[in-house]
Amino acid sequence: MQLNKFALALLTVAVAAQDHLDGLPECAKPCVHQNAPNSGCRSEDDFKCLCGSTEFLTAMAGCAMHQCSFGDLMTAQNWAADKC
């Protein structure tokens, strides 16, 4: 479960603009926008920082797990793995 949470969090990390969210399930997009400002990173497109932010990854995982179906979580995980 920890790996899924981590990977899901990573997927949301690669978010700077709406175009960067293409391929990310709709259920996970609000989670990115909600949690990126609290990451300590300078912006939503600072992928290196977001991918390394434990606070962001933990918050993203929790949010997405509550908002997304299992299938969407898997899609998000794959998307995150590609982005980070």
pLDDT tens column, 17-56: 456 768 889 999 899 889 989 888 988 778 789 889 988 8
**Helix (H/G/I), strand (E/B), else coil: 42:** coil
This model's pTM is above 0.85: no
CA gap 19, 4 in Å, rounded: 24
Q: Is 46 annotated as a binding residue?
A: yes
26 close to 67: Cβ distance less than 8 angstroms: no
Residue 75's pLDDT is 94
